[in-house]
Structure 1
Amino acid sequence: MHAPGRFRARRLGPGAQAPRWARRPRVAGVRGWLALLGAALAVAAVCAVAVLRPWGAPEPVAPVAVAEGNAAVAASVPPAPLVLEEGARVLVFGDSWVYGSAATVPTLGFAYRLADELGVETVVDGVRGSGYLKPGLDGPAYGERIAALDPALDPDLIVVEGSINDRRLYPAGYRNAVTAAWDALEARYPDAAIVILGPSPQVLPVESPTSSIDTELAELAAARGWWYISPIAEGWITAANYLEVIDTGPIGRDHPSTDGHAYLAARVADAIEAMELQPAIVADAPHDEDPVAP
């Protein structure tokens, strides 16, 4: 556990460059503009055809819903902006990646490093080999572990990570196990904000069940209005940096190295800080600050 501090955004100093993952290619030059013009003309042509041939226009698509228990809930509920006050307590819950496996010492794992990255107090609860379905080496599956959490912990934020350990058991019973675990977590800490951190690829290419788990967790989190972080969708671990992040040796066994944990801590911190910067969505908000009377 780390001492509390102030939530702070890391800002770039004069002359500093943004991290590699924050850079975006720019479209420039005549070819880029010609490509955009061509795309615009193509869209205009399709619209014209749809007007002249209404039978070819697409049918309205109903909002997608996912089943949770016996009820259908909206598949996308905008999450509220994240607010972490000074001295915030953050519970980081997950598997061996949260435990700090393959770091020189577990306390150099990404979950522990978040305390310094974010300037908060962290409480780390990682069990190697565990998942929503799979019991771990040092404890049971997520649901039983959540039931054993101390109600007096009272975290301000909970980050639930993982889990690739369910990939060989997926999909039988997975959605029910996730739903039950998240219901229990909400009931135990009703005042805490919850962020779901999806599985990170331990091997490349990403295994198909791992990708499916990521997609399903994203849908379930969106249905609850929770923030979801997808290291897979955001390309945190690629062929370009895989060996810098993952220790493939007999000790590391495809877990993040010490440097890899430092990298993941920075990425998670960046994602959490971005959530705090998101504007709140207000229903029926006026479009103009100074509306003109008729």
Structure 2
Amino acid sequence: MPRRTDDGGRTVLGRVPTRTRRPTTSAVALGLMALGVGAFVVLLPSVSDACQPATTPVSAHAEAALDPGSRVLIVGDSYTTGRGSSDGNHGWAQMISENESWRSTIDGIPGSGYVNRAATDSVQNTYLPRIESHASLDPDLVLVQGSQNDWTVSTRELRKVVTATLRQAEEQWPDALVVAIGPSAPAPLATATTNISDAVGAGARAAGVPYVDAVDAQWFTEFNSRSYVAADGEHLDDAGYRYLARRIAASLHDLTETTAECQPS
């Protein structure tokens, strides 16, 4: 299936077909008067009257959740810890928190995931118990990142665990905006995580949670990954994490956009 380019796709509006020009209202009225027939003039609403910006529940929620000073919880894997960066602990999560002026609690464990237990093989390393361990927090925004380590289970099982994990976050913090961020590895790993990303996206939709899909949007391609990959070939370097932080921030702020609600003609 073709996927969007690195900068995302644009919707191209087709050309409006030319129509035969109709008589004006005044001309029609004069014609009817000449025939001795009374007529009513029907005023149609203008486009501005029919289509009004509509604030969706997600956009209104996101406006407040993304404000500077917001309390944010970020749960993820080695990308959240910043592995591959020059100091080994300054990745996208730290960068986006600084750029957005958030008060963040960053919980990253390398090798972990929704089902992957990381190096110590402890179930406590998976995302669900870690989310539960932060129950005392009162976040405005919860970002759950990753899953590229979850290649040991079927996509069906992964989807179920993702749904349960994200629902727990929503139930635990009903006033917070919960967002899932999928795998975001550079090429060639980006292609290898397609099925995982699809499973996480399906789980997020089942939980009613917005999903940031870096794989589908092709944030990392064979061409640009050369500029962003760390020496180990699996993580990002400083430039890569800066790029990832910008892309995630842009996706989050997209949630604040309103849409036009048009009444049927």
Say which of 243, 265, 270 aligns to 2:226.
243
Distance 1:26 1:187 in 2: 36
Q: Deviations over 1:245-292 (max 9, x none)?
A: 111x3xx3510111111111111111111212x2168xxx6639xx9x
User: What residue identity is the alignment partner of 2:238?
Assistant: T
Q: Deviations over 1:26-59 (max 9, x none)?
A: 99xxxxxxxx89xx9xxxxxxxxxxxxxxxxxxx
Give the structure, 1 or 2, with the largest relative contact order (CA under 8 Å, sep 6 or more).
2
The SS at the match of 1:233 is coil
Distance 2:10 2:72 in 1: 35
Distance 2:74 2:11 in 1: 36
Say which of 194, 216, 234 aligns to 1:211.
194
Aligned counterpart, 2:246: 266
Distance 2:187 2:68 in 1: 38
What is the number of residues matched between the two proteins?
A: 214
Match runs of 1:67-106 below 5 Å: 80-81=58-59, 82-83=62-63, 84=65, 85-106=67-88
Q: Deviations over 1:106-135 (max 9, x none)?
A: 442110001222222222111100011110
| Deviation for aligned residue 1:190 | 1.8
CA RMSD after TM alignment: 3.0
Q: Deviations over 1:52-82 (max 9, x none)?
A: xxxxxxxxxxxxxxxxxxxxxxxxxx87111
TM-score (norm: length of structure 1)? 0.64
Aligned counterpart, 2:136: 152
User: What residue identity is the alignment partner of 2:112?
Assistant: S
| Deviation for aligned residue 1:175 | 2.3
| Deviation for aligned residue 1:88 | 0.6
The answer (yes or no) to whether the contact 2:227–2:239 under 8 Å persists in 1 is yes
The answer (yes or no) to whether the contact 1:79–1:225 under 8 Å persists in 2 is no
- Percent identity, please: 28
Distance 2:6 2:191 in 1: 22
Which entry has the higher C-alpha Rg, 1 or 2?
2
Distance 1:170 1:147, change over 3 A: same
Match runs of 1:84-163 below 5 Å: 84=65, 85-137=67-119, 140-149=125-134, 151-163=135-147
Give every structure 1 segment of 4 or more consecutive aligned residues whose post-TM-superposition deviation is greater than 4 Å. 20-27
Say which of 156, 165, 172 aligns to 1:181.
165
